[in-house]
Chain A
Amino acid sequence: MVAGMPPVERLHLDHVVQTVCVLESVVLRSFGPEGGQVLFTRDTGQAMLSRSGARILTALRLEHPLARMVVECVLKHSTVTGDGSKTFILLLASLLRMIHKMACKEPNVSHTYTSRQTAEASTARHLADNILAFALEELDDLIAMGVMPYGCCLSWEDFTAKKHLPGPSNNDCVQKLLTSFFHSRLGRSHCDFISKLTCELLTHWKFKRDQPSLSLEFVNDNLDALHTPVSGFPISCSRLIEGQVIHRDFATPCPQTEQKTVKAAVFSGYLQPKLLNAGQVLQLGCGEQWMEENSKNNSSIVQFSAWTERSLECVFANLQSLGVSVILSAVKQSAAVLSLAAQAEMCVVECVSENELSLFTQLSGATPVSDCWMVEPEHVAMLTFCRPILLGAHRYVHVAFNDSEERVTVKPCSLVICGLGEGQTDQYTCAFRDAIRMLLSTWEPMGMTATTASKRTLQSTKSTYSHVDQIPNVPPFQQCGLQPGYVIPAGGTFEFLLHHALLQNGTSCSASDDTVTSGLAVSQLLANALLIVPRQIYSHSPRHFLQAQARFQTIIQNHSHPFSLVYKQEHRSIFGESAFPLEEDKLTKHRFTEADVSAKLFMSDSGLESVSCKYQLLLAVLQCLSSILHVDTVLHTHTQSRRLANTSWEDTDDETED
């Protein structure tokens, strides 16, 4: 098989389509409300469950270079936004199929090509480039005008200030956003519970007066130190606990104190001085002149170790005078340290990981001690308690912090993630991390991207769009690009709306543009390719897809608001009055009573999706599309890595025969 492999492999369009369709068929198993989990084993033999597209695609350990390229694109996208890897593959496959169909129908005849296949490839490449160019140029405006009026903006202030509002607030929206995210990542049964937990965690960790991203970034950066996986319990046992959990046990018996505050000090090095460092030589018993230089003035080895013990006693005396009763150490301390600590009624926690110590110092405001002989009051952290906590099989150290001035609004808390096994807790943790990333990219200001920034200058000339005036309820600020924090009902709403907007754009362009065919074709192609997403969401019954499509058609034609349909039904008003005046609410309510019934059917349990995540996803897909279509040949070179890859493939053969 190795010998038969050609060194040069021509990549034809059908190969590309085929490869991506194979990936799609794997991903589809866990896509949408009817999707399930994928069980995979790691190379260690550990069984893992996942619904995360990125995780599934990596687990496949693909060898085909093109497929690997696609997977890399997916991973790059999902590490940033934490979401959308399954939709990525779906959209990519759908676009490729469309392009393939078009290229086969009318291969570009303006040039002379050696074969029909090269002609097809060239047309496809052309189309992909055009779509990408079109998307970079127009997509944000199209979304701003065709999609965002139907969504609502999540504001961080409302989310964090949920306690003061009497009715359901923005917190509901964040929770709905998280619910649909977790639905796609963990399945329906646990998404409500986990999203509620996430919201609670974020409310505890909000920094007042700060941007949402700061708070989210803090949680994202410290998630390792902030969560404790516990296996053997159902997920419903997951909870928040006050303070921080240090994932180590006490090295000395923990004395039970009734004191109000516990003082702790953080040490990064050894308390007992090392007499000799590597490379140093201690000479014993070689004459007077040596002893003077050493200034230790004796020749017995015992004296040296006695000296280290005495210095240790001084350190402990100093610590005792400062009232320290807990020592957190980054390294393993000597037996003498533990013994002296026990005698001084201090408890020692050894080998605390670096990020846990850094979180501890951030939260307590104390600085770690670098020099054992120089322990000052600023090194002492004030804790409300420090006690052992039993989580699953392990006993950890549980600390809580005194409230300090800066942290009035922040209530430090840690997350205990329970699962049936390590594989499940891992899965939940990954989902958690990605949820935070998704929220981060939801609130990320979109104007910062290079493409939109370059477009700002063009904005003024473009604001005279003919159909801007037709769309009601568009707050003026929306016309200048994508606003961060926008969400839209899940379940294909984004795709339906953008589909419509793209088709409209196609027709409006055709009048003025001179590249009529290509502009129109590109719009239509993209519009049709988008429909794969709702089609797969309603894959269990095609009838529902058609119903949903028809319903959106009416909504768009009547300029009604899908959001208001959901929420007015339940007598809610989730939008600020500035964005959506009350009289408009009444209008929509009166106009679309018939539509309400069907709307509720689909939307009452559907969550929310972030518009900016969708936008970024679409751009990433189009970039990936154009880059894979630019590849025409695969060169198989004979290097070390290739041989390795082949041996692993042969191993596979052996195992399957077993």
Chain B
Amino acid sequence: MSRLSKKSPSLCTDLPLDNADICKKLDLLRQLLRSCFGPTGRLKQVHNNIGGHVVTTSTSSVLLPAISSSQPFINLIKTSILNHVSRFSDCGLFAAILCLSLIEQAKQSGLRGNVAIRVNKHLLGLCTSYLQGEDCGCKVKLDFCSSQSLITLARSVISSKPTCVLTEPETLHISRLAVQAFLLTVPCSSPGIVSLGKIVTVSVEGHGVLNSTVFPGVLLDMPDVFTIDKVENLPSDALRMVLFSASLAGDLSELGDGIIEVHPGVDTDSQILDQLLELGKQVVKDEVKLFVCQKVIHPVLQQYLRGHGIIVIERLGITLMEPLTQLTGAQPVATLHTTIPAKAYGRVRDLRIRTFGSKTMLHLHPPGECAICTMILCHRNETMLSELKVVCQKTEHVLRLTLREPSALLGGGCTETHLAAYIRHKSMNEIPETVSALGCSQTECLLGVEGFCRSLEAVAAALEHDGGSSLMDLTHAHHWSHPADVLTEHMGDSLGSCGCGLVESSPNQKWTYLNSKYPQFSPAPLSEDASVQPRVLDSFTAKLNALQVAVETANLALDVRYLIQDVN
């Protein structure tokens, strides 16, 4: 071995999971991510060695790309989690902590890699079928008749990102806005395939969060304020508008690669400008009131159009093109020599100038029903604002996921403890079948189950950061946390209610500390009480995928027997 690997440029490591250095790094990563988890998670400041921008965050999607490791093992886990986050926008830390706990537990149990993998895969199957089943005790159906559960879902996402530094009323305000914006993007009356609209986000720095708001329609930047007076004089019903996707600056880009020789006496520029002005004349004749171009407009043409009372907006950018075509029904024009067909024109119902801090914006109302809306986000400083923007986009995504699967899981760690109790109970009852199906011994199987359940419970326990202890009740198997500084005779007095808020503490309830031995039991379903609403809800789709991703990643990591690092 030594002779060849000394010569080969790739670095090799045999059985990497037995390597102390790699284990240390994995443990460090687990502690780092664990400390960020949940509403009381600790923030991390990321700054690079060349004195760049300092980022404060606790979100996995920002934090994980910042962690660069030369260790491929870390990178393997990192990319898995980041891929999950980019698809589902939620539960990234959950997946990461669960995955790292599973690896650690499997190592501690001393099981052969293959056995641990098989047991994990089997238990994952149990989990997913239970979660997808009708009688799942930790799932709630989302009620679209009221916005309450949607707001709770949005609030859970937003409050789990402490970097936004939101007070309680601010959190609620942003949650409401997020739900309102989401509902605006769902078209009311469209038969057949429903295509969701779009939320355009505009961020305004230096204002209080409570000034944030949502408008239907699109808001466009208006750098030239001197046209305001004229706008206010405009009639507010159905204005005609035109949208250009080609540059109107007078350049000729589509002629080809050949050479053009211009002889003296020929003024190409004025020829092109004349052509542009022809276009302007047609637009004026067709009574267009709003002239928008994705790219640059020649100043002379701008002047001409403004002179005829037309509002001109240039350099719109590609991102706003699609919302604007949807909103106005205009078809982007790119031909300069042919007359603009009537159907290419779009319509706007109302134009209004709105100002937010330093920003002056033109508000375009849709002529009819339209699923485009604009969200104005305000916050006190740039760091919080950028995090708030990320959070709102994530919330929108999470809310969209509910359209496919209108369910949510109980938050606050209750789903994890409940699932762990269910798995313990279920696998104990089926142990002979499991053992024969997996081809391992009963001891191995029990060890594997214990490791899996402990990992789930470790995720619930990770929500606690202030030295308190995590508990689980022995009836519904929900998660409770007990503050460190409160000392009472009876535990039930200081507990209040469980993590998700569905279970109130009562004197005859029994608790056990997480990660301690307890007799396995079947977690009881909750009584159907409509008056009690869960306080914390997690996205069902995102969490289910996160669970699968975590277990599959852990299994991949456990399956690695050899490491080859190409160092070229």
A residues with CB within 8 A of B: 18-19, 22-23, 25-26, 29-30, 33-43, 45-47, 49, 56, 59-64, 67, 187-189, 231-236, 253, 256, 258, 272, 274-286, 299-302, 304-306, 308-310, 312-313, 334-336, 338-340, 342-343, 387, 392-393, 420-424, 605, 648-649, 651-652, 655-656
CB of B337 within 8 A of CB of A234, answer no
B residues with CB within 8 A of A: 1, 3-5, 7-12, 14-16, 72-73, 75-76, 79-80, 83-84, 86-88, 112-114, 117-118, 121, 192-193, 195, 245-246, 252, 254-266, 268, 271-272, 274-275, 322, 325-326, 331-338, 341, 343-344, 439, 545, 548-549, 552-553, 555-556, 558-568
Smallest distance from the beta carbon of B415 to chain A beta carbons, Å?
18
Q: Residues of B contacting A38 with CB < 8 Å?
A: 560-564
Q: Residues of A contacting B113 with CB < 8 Å?
A: 36
9 contacts between A and B (CB under 8 A): A39-B73, A40-B564, A41-B75, A61-B8, A189-B117, A189-B118, A281-B261, A302-B271, A313-B338
Smallest distance from the beta carbon of A333 to chain B beta carbons, Å?
10
Give the CA-CA distance A282 to B564 in the complex, in Å. Answer: 59
Q: Residues of B contacting A36 with CB < 8 Å?
A: 113-114, 558-562
CB of B549 within 8 A of CB of A336, answer no
Q: Residues of A contacting B266 with CB < 8 Å?
A: 284-285, 299
Given A29-B562, A36-B560, CB of A648 within 8 Å of CB of B555: no
Q: Which of B121, B337, B548, B560 is A39 in contact with, Cβ under 8 Å?
A: B560
CB of A235 within 8 A of CB of B8, answer no
CB of B4 within 8 A of CB of A284, answer no
Given A67-B4, A420-B552, CB of A253 within 8 Å of CB of B83: no
CB of B245 within 8 A of CB of A339, answer yes
CB of B260 within 8 A of CB of A393, answer no
Give the CA-CA distance A231 to B87 in the complex, in Å. Answer: 9
CB of B565 within 8 A of CB of A41, answer yes
Q: Which of A60, A274, A335 is B246 in contact with, Cβ under 8 Å?
A: A335
Give the CA-CA distance A187 to B256 in the complex, in Å. Answer: 55
Q: Residues of A contacting B258 with CB < 8 Å?
A: 275-282
CB of A281 within 8 A of CB of B259, answer yes
CB of B263 within 8 A of CB of A285, answer yes
CB of B268 within 8 A of CB of A301, answer yes
CB of A40 within 8 A of CB of B331, answer no
Q: Which of A278, A338, A651 is B568 in contact with, Cβ under 8 Å?
A: A651
Q: Residues of B contacting A43 with CB < 8 Å?
A: 566, 568
CB of A282 within 8 A of CB of B261, answer yes
CB of A302 within 8 A of CB of B256, answer no
Given A67-B4, A189-B555, A284-B260, CB of A304 within 8 Å of CB of B72: no
CB of A256 within 8 A of CB of B193, answer yes
CB of A302 within 8 A of CB of B337, answer yes
CB of B331 within 8 A of CB of A339, answer yes
Q: Residues of A contacting B334 with CB < 8 Å?
A: 334-336, 338-340
B259 to chain A: closest residue by CB: A281
Q: Residues of B contacting A39 with CB < 8 Å?
A: 16, 72-73, 76, 560, 562-564
CB of B566 within 8 A of CB of A40, answer yes
Q: Residues of B contacting A312 with CB < 8 Å?
A: 335
Smallest distance from the beta carbon of B551 to chain A beta carbons, Å?
8
CB of B80 within 8 A of CB of A280, answer no
Give the CA-CA distance A424 to B80 in the complex, in Å. Answer: 9
CB of A649 within 8 A of CB of B9, answer yes
Q: Top 5 nearest A-B pairs by Cβ distance?
A: A276-B258, A285-B266, A339-B334, A232-B83, A36-B561
CB of B256 within 8 A of CB of A336, answer no
A285 to chain B: closest residue by CB: B266
Given A277-B258, A301-B272, CB of A343 within 8 Å of CB of B341: yes
CB of B87 within 8 A of CB of A233, answer yes
Q: Residues of B contacting A40 with CB < 8 Å?
A: 10, 72, 563-566
Give the CA-CA distance A59 to B338 in the complex, in Å. Answer: 59
Residue of B245, B275, B331 with most chain A CB atoms under a 10 A cut-off: B331
Give the CA-CA distance A342 to B326 in the complex, in Å. Answer: 13
Smallest distance from the beta carbon of B328 to chain A beta carbons, Å?
13
Smallest distance from the beta carbon of A19 to chain B beta carbons, Å?
6
B275 to chain A: closest residue by CB: A302
Q: Residues of A contacting B254 with CB < 8 Å?
A: 272, 274-275, 305, 308, 334-336
Q: Residues of B contacting A30 with CB < 8 Å?
A: 561-562
Smallest distance from the beta carbon of A465 to chain B beta carbons, Å?
42
Q: Residues of A contacting B343 with CB < 8 Å?
A: 343
Give the CA-CA distance A414 to B548 in the complex, in Å. Answer: 24
Smallest distance from the beta carbon of A312 to chain B beta carbons, Å?
8
CB of A339 within 8 A of CB of B79, answer no
Smallest distance from the beta carbon of A104 to chain B beta carbons, Å?
20
Q: Which of B10, B195, B252 is A59 in contact with, Cβ under 8 Å?
A: B10
Smallest distance from the beta carbon of B264 to chain A beta carbons, Å?
8
A27 to chain B: closest residue by CB: B562
Q: Residues of B contacting A41 with CB < 8 Å?
A: 72, 75, 564-566
CB of B271 within 8 A of CB of A309, answer no
CB of A305 within 8 A of CB of B338, answer no
Given A188-B118, A235-B552, CB of A278 within 8 Å of CB of B257: yes
Smallest distance from the beta carbon of B152 to chain A beta carbons, Å?
26
Q: Residues of A contacting B7 with CB < 8 Å?
A: 62-64, 649
CB of A301 within 8 A of CB of B8, answer no
CB of B567 within 8 A of CB of A652, answer yes
Give the CA-CA distance A35 to B560 in the complex, in Å. Answer: 9
Smallest distance from the beta carbon of B500 to chain A beta carbons, Å?
26
Q: Which of A18, A284, A423 is B76 in contact with, Cβ under 8 Å?
A: A423
Smallest distance from the beta carbon of A69 to chain B beta carbons, Å?
14
Smallest distance from the beta carbon of A631 to chain B beta carbons, Å?
17
Smallest distance from the beta carbon of B296 to chain A beta carbons, Å?
14
Q: Residues of B contacting A37 with CB < 8 Å?
A: 556, 559-561
Smallest distance from the beta carbon of B179 to chain A beta carbons, Å?
23
Given A36-B559, A651-B568, CB of A302 within 8 Å of CB of B322: no
Q: Residues of B contacting A304 with CB < 8 Å?
A: 255
CB of B563 within 8 A of CB of A233, answer no
Q: Residues of B contacting A421 with CB < 8 Å?
A: 76, 79-80, 83
CB of A34 within 8 A of CB of B568, answer no
Give the CA-CA distance A304 to B271 in the complex, in Å. Answer: 12
Q: Residues of B contacting A424 with CB < 8 Å?
A: 556
Q: A26-B12, A274-B254 are in contact. List 15 more A-B contacts (CB 8 A).
A: A18-B4, A34-B114, A37-B559, A39-B76, A41-B72, A256-B195, A275-B258, A277-B258, A280-B259, A283-B261, A285-B266, A340-B334, A342-B332, A420-B79, A420-B80
Q: Residues of A contacting B72 with CB < 8 Å?
A: 39-41, 47
Smallest distance from the beta carbon of A645 to chain B beta carbons, Å?
8
Q: Residues of B contacting A29 with CB < 8 Å?
A: 14-15, 561-562
CB of B256 within 8 A of CB of A18, answer no
Give the CA-CA distance A304 to B253 in the complex, in Å. Answer: 12
Q: Residues of A contacting B568 with CB < 8 Å?
A: 43, 61, 648, 651
Smallest distance from the beta carbon of A419 to chain B beta carbons, Å?
9
Give the CA-CA distance A569 to B356 in the complex, in Å. Answer: 79
Given A60-B8, A275-B258, A339-B331, CB of A301 within 8 Å of CB of B565: no
B332 to chain A: closest residue by CB: A339
Q: Residues of A contacting B559 with CB < 8 Å?
A: 36-37, 49, 187
Q: Residues of B contacting A342 with CB < 8 Å?
A: 331-332
CB of B76 within 8 A of CB of A47, answer yes
Smallest distance from the beta carbon of A251 to chain B beta carbons, Å?
11
Q: Residues of A contacting B255 with CB < 8 Å?
A: 274-276, 282, 304-305, 308
Q: Residues of A contacting B195 with CB < 8 Å?
A: 256
Q: Residues of A contacting B274 with CB < 8 Å?
A: 302
CB of A648 within 8 A of CB of B9, answer yes
Smallest distance from the beta carbon of A538 to chain B beta carbons, Å?
14
Q: Which of A253, A276, A605 is B257 in contact with, Cβ under 8 Å?
A: A276
CB of A188 within 8 A of CB of B553, answer no
Give the CA-CA distance A38 to B560 in the complex, in Å. Answer: 5
B548 to chain A: closest residue by CB: A234
